[in-house]
Chain A
């Protein structure tokens, strides 16, 4: 399929026509930004990405002294919204929040968009996966769980956290590969996200769940599940007792779901610099930090260059994991 559907070209054209109609004067004559900015979120209202987009938009509004409106462009499991960001005019008035899926969907042949289809602005958040088991399970440490996995017959243990080929599935694949096992040694049960997976874990239907610790928090606090480790370089300050994989079993494997801010490709470098600087101030603002702490989301910062490098490395790592798991096309 071609990247841009006819509709997006039309949409882009419509926006351009609108810009021309109200008189392009202020956009060029005055300093950027001269009018409201649209921030496209490829996921539905009420979710974690939507909330992150909205808090950033609220603080960014104060920084740029122009309204920043979040528009949810859903559909196609994120493909439609990500395409809409890439297809918007690169004038600095349409930005987008991009998620880890952008480094995964193209390997599956769902889209031709890749991380380098955008002008990267800033990385704001990353949540590493944890390894959760049922509260009544016999495994007290991640080492015991790993030994049990190694001893178990191929495919007899079951795990979940999201759908097939989702970020938490690849976290499990990466961990299994790091232990020298086959990527499907533990069978992945595709469920509709972290909450249903944690529920199934509590109902006794699964052996482990690899979703982020904040997503598992409520059930852990209810005493129905336990988190054994996080696949991150450092512990999560909100869950100090949960060790990293490296501490617990010496495996240096990190992964995570991230969210960053981008603009369409071809954005004026001056405007890009201005936006990155503003986003850095957002990243350090008390409002943003308080919000992220309340939700248990991990705060991360990388400027445009760092974000581009981060996405590139993540993209390659995803390619390796997805090919190993047989999830990549071609």
Chain B
């Protein structure tokens, strides 16, 4: 117990509390700006953590990333421009709610269920770290392949369009991820001699292009839509409690899926949101409402992505294996601050570990009041004239994508993907599915090709390893489900 009191002592320092507060505000602002992702918010914090005490340094990373993942929902819901790849899965749904005149409900769901999900994830980190970590260590490339494949199958479920076009969009995304030298051979592929393409097309510029730039392009072609009837912005938390009671199952499922995906290296919050949104749709009693401003999918996905954020720290803390891009940076900071990841961190520095848990909980609690303020401020863009908002978004797209690597090539990528996204949308190809393809591409290819290399071309290990077998069964079931459901329905119709 002395460890716990010591931990409270570590956290209740002025510098740590101040770090949590400032990093939270910073995370909220950065996450809500189109073109700036949660990963980038954390990357830009690294130089600052250099001058902080170890606990304060970790506190800034935890708070900033949790806030940024939530506030990525804000521009998504208000302008149909997702702030982070994790929000891209349900941007259309949240935006549809705003158009129905319920922006406060959409954003309130994001906030409330993100906070609950974050706390659920933290509990998993506190109580289940060793078993979860052992599970993660059972994942070799064979298991990763099935996982990635399951992730790709979400493409057809997230958009309201022809499933063939959704799959084609996803394949386009996979093709984009082929560019560069990050392939099994390490040779330049589809780079056409352009040095800047060696590193491949990064997700953020592509995301910003297909959502933000193409949105501005559409605005160029249409007259300013009539202002939404002026009315008071409703209470943000009012209906959340009702929703919490109404949708217990999606919420719990979102938490569990988020925790599991978060723990598995290489996936992370981005994938968690996609999988959860699709699961919500598949198991919903009213799947036809999805995409028209229905809360169910938002609840499950919001619960999932913040849960995965916390559980992603499990393999990072125990084995220095990053669960996602954010924990990859966090591991660097942990080492820099002498909190070397490994099992000894849990035994010899137990008080630091407890301090970390406490920070997670605090961050997810103060997310609610700070988030409400942020939503109120941000919702003013709905009242500003479009000709004032859109130009600033173009500017943010340019500077924001440039900021990650100080590389102007990202601005070129944004422009190109703006055009691609615009053409795709006009022709009924869901751009979100392409983003999913780009996110998952490297993982799919790596896991497929390296698995085949390890097995000398045999596909047996894809099925005879225990975890792989379970995942394979799930994948095949998910593939056959629509066929079976269709068969079942036609049989029932026939017998009637």
| Residues of A near any B CB (own CB < 8 A) | 1, 5, 7, 44-48, 50-51, 54-55, 58, 70-77, 79-80, 83, 108, 110-111, 155-156, 158, 160, 163-166, 187, 189-192, 195-196, 198-200, 202-206, 215, 217-219, 221-224, 291, 294-296
Contact = CB atoms under 8 A, between A and B. Distances in A.
Nearest to B338: A294
B332 A47 contact: yes
A104 B43 CA distance: 27
A1 B329 contact: no
7 contacts: A72-B406, A190-B184, A190-B185, A192-B442, A195-B320, A217-B320, A224-B137
A205 B197 CA distance: 31
A76 B318 contact: no
Given A76-B197, A80-B198, 13 more contacts: A1-B193, A5-B196, A50-B332, A54-B46, A75-B409, A79-B198, A187-B453, A191-B446, A199-B137, A199-B139, A199-B265, A218-B321, A221-B343
Nearest 4 pairs between A and B by C-beta? A46-B329, A74-B405, A205-B140, A218-B320
B332 A110 contact: no
Interface string B321-332: 110000011111
Contact of A203 (B139, B320, B409): B139
B319 interface: yes
A160 B142 CA distance: 15
A158 B461 CA distance: 15
Nearest to A290: B338
Interface string B131-160: 000001111111100000000000000000
Contacts of A7: 408-409
Contacts of A166: 186
B199 A46 contact: no
Nearest to A169: B186
A160 B410 CA distance: 31
Nearest to B412: A7
Interface in B328-375: 328-333, 335-336, 338, 340-344
Contacts of B328: 46
B453 A189 contact: yes
A202 to B, nearest CB: 5
Nearest to A294: B338
A48 B332 contact: yes
Nearest to B339: A294
Contact of B140 (A80, A83, A200): A200
Contacts of A50: 46, 332
Given A46-B43, A192-B446, A163 B265 contact: no
A200 to B, nearest CB: 5
B194 to A, nearest CB: 8
Contact of B456 (A80, A155, A164): A155
B137 A202 contact: yes
B404 A199 contact: no
Contacts of A72: 43, 405-406
Nearest to B42: A46
Interface of B: 42-44, 46-47, 50, 136-143, 180-182, 184-188, 193-199, 265-266, 315, 318-322, 328-333, 335-336, 338, 340-344, 404-410, 442, 446, 450, 453-454, 456
A254 B339 CA distance: 30
Contact of B141 (A73, A83, A110, A200): A200
B186 A74 contact: no
B181 A77 contact: yes
A302 B341 CA distance: 31
B237 to A, nearest CB: 35
Contacts of B184: 163-164, 190
Contacts of A51: 332, 335-336
A72 B265 CA distance: 25
Contact of B405 (A44, A155, A195): A44
Contacts of A224: 137, 319
B335 A204 contact: no
Interface centre among A72, A76, A111 (most CB of B within 10 A): A76
Given A75-B199, A163-B182, A295 B336 contact: yes
A217 B342 contact: yes
A218 B407 contact: no
A111 B195 contact: yes
Given A51-B336, A77-B199, A224-B137, A46 B46 contact: yes
Contact of B450 (A5, A190, A291): A190
Given A45-B46, A205-B141, A294-B340, A199 B321 contact: yes
A77 B330 CA distance: 21
A222 B134 CA distance: 11
A222 B185 contact: no
A324 B410 CA distance: 37
A56 to B, nearest CB: 12
Nearest to A223: B343
A210 to B, nearest CB: 16
Contact of A217 (B136, B138, B140, B340): B340
Contacts of B340: 217-218, 294, 296
Contacts of B321: 195-196, 198-199, 218-219
Given A74-B199, A195-B322, A203 B140 contact: yes
Given A46-B332, A158-B454, A187-B453, A73 B406 contact: yes
Contacts of B406: 71-74
B320 to A, nearest CB: 4
B407 A74 contact: yes
Nearest to A217: B342
A155 B457 CA distance: 12
Nearest to B327: A46
B318 A203 contact: no
A202 B453 CA distance: 18
A83 B409 CA distance: 14
A109 to B, nearest CB: 8
A195 B328 CA distance: 10
Given A199-B139, A206-B454, A222 B332 contact: no
Contacts of A83: 195
B196 A80 contact: yes
A70 B50 CA distance: 12
B319 A110 contact: no
A321 to B, nearest CB: 15
Contacts of B42: 46
B181 A110 contact: yes
Nearest to A221: B342
A171 to B, nearest CB: 15
A45 B41 CA distance: 11
Contacts of B333: 46
B214 to A, nearest CB: 24
A296 B46 CA distance: 19
Contact of B138 (A71, A74, A203): A203
Contacts of A296: 340
A271 B380 CA distance: 54
A76 B199 CA distance: 4
A265 B187 CA distance: 28
